[in-house]
Amino acid sequence: MTEYDYWKIFPRMPKKVTIGDITIRDGFQHEEKFISTAAKIFYLEELIFAGCRDIEVTNLGNPYLMPQFKDAEILFEHLRSDDFKNRCERKGIKYEDICLTAITIREGAVDRSIELKKRGMGPDRILMMVSTEEQHHFANSGTTLPEYWEEAQRCIKKSTDAGIKMCGTVSTIWGSPIGGATDMKDAVEFSKRWLEIGAHDIEHADHDGSASAPDVYRYFSMILDELPDTSLHIAHFHETKRVASASVLAALQAGITKFEATMGGLGGQPANFLDDCPTKGTGEYYYEDPRYVGLVTLEDTLVQIDEMGISHGYDVDRILWLGKKMEKTIGRRLRSDAVINGRTLKEGHVQFARPGLAKRKEKLNESPGQKFPREWSRHAILPEKYRAGS
């Protein structure tokens, strides 16, 4: 007989997951208008109040390259304030459970994070990134892979000494927008290298939507065979072909328990234009049409996971409410379908029922809930040619 229990078919699939939000950093970095500091603070707070405990606050790199993050220190100062801590306490949130992350691709940004830490307003966790395809890596960092690994090793030592965790990102796992196809075995080796030099955890990133569900399942199965501690691994999917939800499902089936997402599917390559001024960013965009750039949406991912019966810690309805606010902030329709259509309601939408059904059933002498004529057998009797095993 076919096994119908999903968790028996996929025994590694978790019953509980962690979903980190990276809207304020990765989501906003692709926007060509400055998102006000007040708006950033509003969404940081509301995401935390709605259940997010792992949140990317900003990018500590040079604001000349990405002026969207010129207010980085203001955001950290607010989140480290006694006022915000007291508000968390009043809402029953343990402040120490919140992990604040900043992106620090190069050593100068790592040094900045350490300085902020000394001032009592630094991040709990920072992130550096390598791509398995060197042209993509060079476009992001301006270094070769060997010189970047040496830089990362220095940075991990100094950040660890300062009490800051380092996440090592591995990108272009399923392909590169510059170099094309890649070998997943390289990404497994890169993951091991991050741990070898002292990284705290690993973000496994599909940065251009290249991943397909079978390859996602294959890759994360390879990873967990080699590095079985699920707390080490974070799945990061971009959405360019409307198939990222399949990648999320495949990662779950492989056993991954930690994911990242952005509200409305915002995000992508750092903007090379802000308000009325061209900026450096990371150069020309990989895609001509901005409608097909971004990450898997927080709202839709939450609904997907919630309706699978997997625990996640969020107030889903509050996130859907917040998603509608985000569309006003950005000024356009975003990519979450759940924000528009809501959750699947088990009680249905009784307001759409046509009147008169009960009276008609009574007139026909049918019982409430009766689905077939009384003279029919209790169960269908299939013709021989349709029976299993015939």
At 345 the pLDDT is 83
Confidence of residue 173 (pLDDT cuts 50, 70, 90): very high
Angle among Cα 363, 366, 368 to the nearest 5 degrees reads 110
Angle among Cα 227, 152, 111 to the nearest 5 degrees reads 130
Q: What is the pTM of this model?
A: 0.93
CATH 3.20.20.70-classified regions of the chain? 6-341
Dump pLDDT digits (tens) for 280-336. 887 788 777 777 789 999 999 999 999 999 999 999 999 999 999 999 999 999 999
The fourth-level CATH superfamily of domain 6-341 is Aldolase class I (3.20.20.70)
Q: Is 180 left (phi over 0), alpha (psi -120 to 50) or beta?
A: left
Dump pLDDT digits (tens) for 33-76. 999 999 999 999 999 999 999 999 999 999 988 999 999 999 99
At 186 the pLDDT is 98
At 258 the pLDDT is 98
Q: Rounded to an integer, what is the distance from CA 154 to the centroid of its chain? A: 28
Residue 379 CA to residue 155 CA, distance in Å, equals 68
